[in-house]
Structure 1
Amino acid sequence: MSIVIIVLIAAGCLCGWILFRKNVLPVSQTFSPDAYKVSVIIPARNEERNLPYLLDSLKAQTISPHEIIVVDDFSEDRTKEIALSYGIKLIENPQLPEGWTGKSWAVWNGYLQASGDVFIFLDADIRLDPRAFESLLYAREQAQGVISVVPYHHTEKLYEKLALVLNMLGIFTFTSVYEKHNPKKGVYGSCIVALRDDYEKINGHESVKYEVLDDLMIGSRFIAAGVPVTNFIGYGLVSFRMYPNGMRSQIEGFSKGAVLSTGTLSPRTIVPIAAWVAGLLLSSTALFMSFTPWAWPLWGGYVLYMLQLFYFKRYVGRFGVVIPALHAVAALFLAAVMLYSVYQVVFLRHVKWKGRNIRVGGGR
């Protein structure tokens, strides 16, 4: 039995190394996109806490955008006032039509009033290093297609750090070498860079207006149209603070796509992810099996995963020391989010996000 445990945990841990790709957004030193007019489009719903960080970081960029557009998506806080105080272009989102999700509708209305020939779509919780803008444009130029970035997760409170394992799964999903030729390959919606011509080729967010996972679906639309999709890790250049408003928003945010996203992945990605998670959960039982014959192999596996997570987190986010060391807690949080996601998708047939119920399969 001990040999079986060792093999299962070691195989799972190995799958983590196979899945992880340190595909960090390259830093541009010389790129000058003089030929482009860049429109930054920011959908924002109740983002008074996050928006100032993003707008300040945009003002500090080594290359200035042609325009910055904030689309206020029926916010109930000071999002609109904050955007106006920065002197940028503000759009108040029109009434949400039947069949659209809120974010896609906001992004689409930003596009309709944008005049640039390159679009950078940013979530309001993004924070940019001063070199990020030119690096994003440089990376898009090198990729000759659409790029997206999985941001480095800036966490502050303990509950935010529980997302370590979930963030790792996000990195695995978007950097897996097995997704390279997946026709359903997605982009990471927090930070997307696309030429206007490429965006209009797929009819933009209107083509995914009813999708809960608009970012994953729009990636597959680009690929179907012959536009390459490349995903990067934002370490050092693009970061975000995802859920500063409390545990509830964090659970809602992760659970809305936890189950649905698996349907877009290649089986060759799903299998090693499942093996990695299984090994993680198995090693976590060491906390409860200390007085059994399997204690030593379980604790050995626990330490193996802990060391791996300490390495990965350097590129994934600021998670401190406690959660990687007590990764069993983060694994339990993953299990809770997955169960809640199943409950919403299978039984409720909708997911909840920012005060809206979004129907699975389309609408509102």
Structure 2
Amino acid sequence: MSDPLGGLLPDLVPDLVVVVLVLAALAASHWFLADLRTLPPTAARPARTPAVSVVVPARDEEASLPALLRSVAALDPPVAEVVVVDDGSVDATAAVTRAAGAVVVPAPAPPPGWTGKAWACHVGAEATSGDVLLLLDADTVLAPDALAGLLEVHARRGGLVSVQPFHRVVRPYEQLSAYFNVVAVMASSAFTRRPATGPMAFGPCLLTSRSDLLSAGGHRAVRDEILDDAALAAAYTRAGLPVTCAVGETAVTMRSYPGGLGQLVSGWTKNIASGASSASPFATLATVLWVSVHHAVAVGAVLSWILALTGRGGWLATGDVAVWTTAWVALAWHLRSLLRRLGSFRWWAWALFPVPLLAFDLVFARSAVLTLVRRSVRWRGRDVDLRGPRSREEVV
């Protein structure tokens, strides 16, 4: 008697593999992004407000600083002082800062063994007197109640409080940052429901007491690190201090790389491959699985559609077109749910996900080549030397 399933099972195998891979990718992202916590949205003003000093390391940030400084001036509770560390700017960074009523502190050239940003943060911290330090990148913007939320989290947890800002996406090319944003938070391991496998922080927004920063060794402890935020989190953990991460949503936002596609490519080139090397092995494996499944579905679905519409390419396509289409819709919809938490991305960034995925591939490949082969990248007019811990130079 012939087995009615004998010829059917081999045909089902590709479809089953697709289903299993998609479910595995969704499960992996759910595990690492299950707790995308935010700052308390209605945080009450603390009964006793500590003196908060804002430090902004800046290099050629005349375009970004006005929005940040206006938002800082509107914070409730108010901050005690705002210091912008001018890290060798050749534009009107200093003039814009003074016009907004903030203090400009010129940063001397970094000493040997210091990265540009770590040195600027160190100079800024030394120039302030507040009990609490709020370190902000120049392209961030805070809602009026953001400081109250930061202080509430810090009052409960202590240590280092870090926020990954909500990415304000304005021009079409900025949509290409979609996968970079998801990969950054997923690989960080900062948003699992269980304790992360390793400490992580996000550099655009950091709040800490001065005493805790000193206990962790200050920026001197991370002076030669390209990823100073992750290294600072590790320094806090070594000192027995907690690190608490959140996503910005409406409280803390940023617009990264408004200067054009070249700036976006250069910025993510500097960050993404080095960031991948700092992730935990488990987080790296999960993130690679998630990205790889997106690649497989993008290619498989397109090939199956070509076969269904033209009858050609059958030797390349495998599996049922309905399964591939369902997989595409499932991944796109899930990507939509993540991007809505991380930035103001438009519909096509998730519905046509192979487009930003291809941008991610190209920039990651460029970053990997420069990081692993050339051992140097360039950002804001400075070379980022990656050859050794004492020979690096990096900028804000």
Structure 1 length normalisation: TM-score?
0.95
Distance 1:208 1:178 in 2: 28
Of 13, 22, 45 in structure 1, the residue corresponding to residue 26 of structure 2 is 13
Distance 2:126 2:205 in 1: 19
Specify every segment of 5 or more residues in structure 1 that has no aligned partner in the other structure, as ranges.
Answer: none
Q: Is the 8 A contact 2:163 2:205 kept in 1?
A: yes
Distance 2:128 2:121 in 1: 10
Q: CA deviation at 1:150?
A: 0.6
**What is the aligned partner in structure 2 of residue 2 from structure 1?**
15
State the SS of the aligned residue for 2:141.
strand
Letter in 1 for 2:28: C
After superposition, the Cα gap between the structure-2 partners of 1:75 and 1:288, relative to the gap in structure 1 and judged at 3 Å, is farther
Of 311, 326, 351 in structure 2, the residue corresponding to residue 325 of structure 1 is 351
**What is the aligned partner in structure 2 of residue 176 from structure 1?**
191
**What is the aligned partner in structure 1 of residue 281 from structure 2?**
267
Q: CA deviation at 1:28?
A: 4.1
Which is greater in Rg?
2
Q: CA deviation at 1:31?
A: 3.2
Q: Say if 2:53 is the partner of 1:39.
A: yes
Distance 1:205 1:179 in 2: 28
Distance 2:196 2:346 in 1: 35
Of 217, 220, 228 in structure 1, the residue corresponding to residue 231 of structure 2 is 217
Q: CA deviation at 1:47?
A: 0.9
Q: CA deviation at 1:266?
A: 2.3
Q: Say if 2:270 is the partner of 1:256.
A: yes
Q: Residues 94-149 of structure 1, C-alpha deviation per residue, up to 9 Å, x if partnerless? A: 12222211111111100111101100000000011111111111111112221100
Distance 2:221 2:141 in 1: 28
Deviates more, 1:144-153 or 1:258-267: 258-267
Of 327, 339, 342 in structure 1, the residue corresponding to residue 365 of structure 2 is 339
Q: Is the 8 A contact 1:69 1:89 kept in 2?
A: yes
Specify every segment of 5 or more residues in structure 2 that has no aligned partner in the other structure, as ranges.
Answer: 1-13, 308-316
Q: Is the 8 A contact 1:256 1:353 kept in 2?
A: yes
After superposition, the Cα gap between the structure-2 partners of 1:53 and 1:355, relative to the gap in structure 1 and judged at 3 Å, is same
**What is the aligned partner in structure 1 of residue 377 from structure 2?**
351
Distance 2:246 2:343 in 1: 14
State the SS of the aligned residue for 1:71.
strand
Superposed counterparts of 1:124-143, under 5 Å: 124-143=138-157
Q: CA deviation at 1:161?
A: 0.9
Give aligned-pair identity as a percent. 29
Q: Residues 267-310 of structure 1, C-alpha deviation per residue, up to 9 Å, x if partnerless? A: 22222212111111111112344213433322221111111112
Q: Residues 218-273 of structure 1, C-alpha deviation per residue, up to 9 Å, x if partnerless? A: 11011000010010011110000011011111112112232222333222222221
Deviates more, 1:282-291 or 1:113-122: 282-291
Distance 1:99 1:203 in 2: 16
Deviates more, 1:9-18 or 1:82-91: 9-18
Letter in 2 for 1:226: G
Letter in 2 for 1:330: P
Higher relative contact order (CA 8 A, sep 6+): 1
Q: Is the 8 A contact 1:13 1:304 kept in 2?
A: no
Q: Is the 8 A contact 2:158 2:208 kept in 1?
A: no
Q: Residues 78-106 of structure 1, C-alpha deviation per residue, up to 9 Å, x if partnerless? A: 11110010121110111222221111111
Q: Say if 2:334 is the partner of 1:308.
A: yes
**What is the aligned partner in structure 2 of residue 299 from structure 1?**
325
**What is the aligned partner in structure 1 of residue 63 from structure 2?**
49
Q: CA deviation at 1:190?
A: 0.4
Distance 2:216 2:29 in 1: 34
Q: Say if 2:250 is the partner of 1:233.
A: no
Q: CA deviation at 1:9?
A: 2.1
**What is the aligned partner in structure 1 of residue 313 from structure 2?**
none
**What is the aligned partner in structure 1 of residue 111 from structure 2?**
97
Distance 2:237 2:350 in 1: 36
Q: Say if 2:191 is the partner of 1:201.
A: no
